[in-house]
């Protein structure tokens, strides 16, 4: 089922420190994966704002990290 969204919230479990140093969020347009946004750190909470996207497949790619990533939450939202 396709959903529309224009916000992503990523949260790290930071009890052992921030571990993610580079990430990318992608969606599948039906035939290939396309980048929505990318960043360099997440920390306690990162809110990404972007143009509205509609898809049934989304992924968070951790591009580089220290000591293994510890993602606490990854959520998508549609804001007006």
**In CATH, what number is assigned to the domain containing residue 69?**
2.60.120.260
Residue pair 64/21 in contact (Cβ under 8 Å)? The answer is yes
Domain count, the chain: 1
The boundaries of the domain holding residue 49 are: 3-77
Mean pLDDT of 65-78: 96
Nearest to 72 by CA among 2, 10, 3, 4: 10
The predicted model scores a pTM of 0.92
Quick: pLDDT tens for 9-66. Answer: 999 999 989 999 999 999 999 999 999 999 999 999 999 999 999 999 999 999 999 9
Checking if the pLDDT of 80 tops 90, the result is no
What pLDDT, on a 0 to 100 scale, did the predictor assign at position 71?
A: 97
The Cα–Cα gap between 9 and 70 comes to: 14
The Cα–Cα gap between 52 and 5 comes to: 5
The Cα–Cα gap between 39 and 51 comes to: 16
What pLDDT, on a 0 to 100 scale, did the predictor assign at position 55?
A: 98
């Amino acid at each position: 089922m396709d959903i529309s969204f224009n916000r992503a919230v990523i949260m790290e479990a930071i009890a052992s420190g921030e571990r993610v140093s580079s990430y990318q969020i992608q969606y599948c347009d039906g035939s290939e994966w396309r980048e929505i946004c990318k960043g360099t750190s997440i920390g306690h909470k990162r809110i990404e704002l972007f143009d509205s996207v509609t898809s049934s497949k989304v992924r968070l790619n951790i591009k580089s990290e220290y000591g293994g990533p510890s993602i606490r939450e990854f959520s998508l939202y549609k804001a007006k």
